[in-house]
Amino acid sequence: MNKRLARIFALSMGVPLLLVLLAACGGTGTGSGGTTPTSNIVIKVATELPVSGADASSGKPAENGAHMAVDEAIASNFLGSGYTLEFVTKDDVGASGTHDPTVGATNVQQLISDAEVAGIVGPFNSSVAQSEMPIANQAPIVLISPSNTNTCLTQNTPDTGCTGANDMISTLRPTGKVTYFRIATTDNHQGAVGADFLYKTLNYKKAYVIDDTETYGIGLATQFIKEWQADGGTVLGHDSLKSSTDYSGELTKVAAAKPDVVYYAGVDSTGGTQIRKQMATTPGLTKTPFAGGDGIQTSAFATAIGASGAAVYSTVAAIDATKVPAAASFIQKYQAKYGALGAYSASGYDCMKILLNAIKAAIQGGAKPPTNSGDTTTAQSFRQAVINAVAKTDYNGVTGHQSFDANGDTTNKTISIYQLADVNGSPGWKYVTAQTLP
Q: Would you state the pLDDT for residue 37?
A: 74
Q: Would you state the pLDDT for residue 1?
A: 41
Give the domain ranges of the chain. Answer: 42-185+323-407, 188-316+416-436
Give the residues across from 422 on adjacent strands. 427
Q: Would you state the pLDDT for residue 26?
A: 35
Burial class (CB in 10 A: 0-12, 13-18, 19+), 281: exposed
Give the residues across from 418 on adjacent strands. 314, 431
Give strand ranges (E) for 212-335: 234-240, 261-265, 290-292, 312-316
Q: Would you state the pLDDT for residue 18?
A: 32
Q: Would you state the pLDDT for residue 41?
A: 97
Task: Examine domains 42-185+323-407 and 188-316+416-436 and report if their fold is the same.
Answer: yes
Stretches in the chain below the pLDDT threshold 50: 1-33
Torsion on CA atoms 383, 384, 385, 391, rounded to nearest 10: 110
Q: Would you state the pLDDT for residue 389?
A: 98
Domain 188-316+416-436 class, CATH top level:
alpha beta
Nearest-angstrom CA–CA distance, 245 and 239: 16
Q: Would you state the pLDDT for residue 39?
A: 74
CA 11 to each of CA 3, 77, 340: distance values in angstroms, whole numbers, following the listed order: 12, 37, 59
Nearest-angstrom CA–CA distance, 406 and 253: 44
- Return the CATH fold of 42-185+323-407: Rossmann fold (3.40.50)
Q: What angle do CA 426, 432, 438 make, to 5 degrees?
A: 140
> Which one-letter DSSP state was computed for residue 197?
I
